Amino acid sequence: MPLSGPENDGFLGDLFHPPDYRPRALHTVLVLSYLLGRVSPLALTPAWLALTAIASWPWGHLRLWAAGLSGAIILLDGIGLALLPRLGRSFGPVTPPLLALTVLRTLLTFAAGLIWNSWPVLLGATVIQLAIAATALYATWIEPFRIRVTRAELRSPKLDGRAPLRLLHISDLHVEVITPREMELLDKVEQSDPNLVALTGDYLNLSSVRDPRAHAAVRDLLGKLCELSRGPVYAITGSPPVDLRAVVPRIFEGLPITWLLDDVADVQLSGHRIRLIGLRCTRDRSRDAPRLRRLLAGCPGDCFSLLLYHSPDLMPEAAELGVDLYLCGHTHGGQLRLPLFGALITSSDFGKRYEMGRYEEGRTTLYVSRGLGMEGLGAPRARFLAPPEIILWTLSPPEI
């Protein structure tokens, strides 16, 4: 839906050669999956039939039953994915996630038939396939719309106000259009009643970076968010392929948002003096770390420092420089996680070292937000064991 005429807008050029960005493996996979997503699922009917035949081949006299199971599951998956945009939930393409699910299911059914082609095994395989279907439906229809308000507390002798400061951290909106998730976000912001709001980048979905409707939607969302906050709103930009240099100024224009583009702001709130450091993210540590050092060079040692940077990848430098609180997003907590193991992919230079949540190194506290939205392009609009979150911080001196 949000991809209206991207070819005429330089959209594909932005995808393959994003400005100020060195494309990485994950980015390349997303771009290729986006191109696959432009193929209709019906056009791949021969592929679905071939995979069904492969899955049922080892089952001998139960082959027709296995083929029926595989075909029904493909249909169920396809309907579940196709209804998401029709009902205004999310707007990803059907073909890439459907193909990934079908290949996985084919391998499982094929392997079960090789082990023992009997009724009990086929029944077990059916149960497993239905469990996968239920997980897929939960991950696409339910979890992405259950925003959690994570409450965190930090006490520091550098904070000397008489009342605690309520800081709301919001990251990775990735707006395509306004969905139930964005409406729930506004309710959560109103309930949180923050003194200060920090936005740490990625305002648009990768599929919508050139879509005027998405631009209008995120502007409207940010405008309402500012109205609900009784304190100032500060923002930084996120990943270069998402927060395009030509687009972000138009999104922020006219809104009461202070955009920190390699900049520092001294804030006095609730009696607390805070130095906000907003750093532009290029996803290249060799370029971003020196700029962080320059911005922190004039920061008094007795002033509470709050770093806003989209990725967690500057944590070693932030800890070395004595940053007090470092807020970021980018990883989405992996977005799709496995029990016990956690994130499969974080898109961080440090892998799983800073995948989500709170970390302490030296005097520095880092919080990696799971964010709110989802990446886009051909990636599934899904979250599993990584529900969207906003973080409400209570900052106060030790004695309060």
Q: For strand 325-328 and strand 304-308, is the pairing parallel, antiparallel, or unpaired? A: parallel
pTM: 0.91
Q: What is the Cα–Cα distance from 277 to 296, expressed in whole angstroms?
A: 8
Q: What is the Cα–Cα distance from 353 to 362, expressed in whole angstroms?
A: 16
Q: With b meaning 16 or more CB within 10 Å and e meaning fewer, what string describes 108-123?
A: bbbebbeeebeeeebe
Q: What is the Cα–Cα distance from 47 to 64, expressed in whole angstroms?
A: 18
- pLDDT for the residue numbered 167: 97
Residue-wise pLDDT for 340-368, tens only, equals: 999 999 999 999 999 999 999 999 999 99
Q: What is the Cα–Cα distance from 343 to 340, expressed in whole angstroms?
A: 10
Within 8 A by CB and 6+ apart from 358, the residues are: 152, 365, 366, 367
H helices of 87-179, where? 95-115, 119-141
Length of the chain, please?
A: 400
Residue-wise pLDDT for 128-184, tens only, equals: 999 999 999 999 999 999 999 999 999 999 998 888 999 999 999 999 999 999 999
Q: How confident is the model at residue 90 (pLDDT cuts 50, 70, 90)?
A: very high
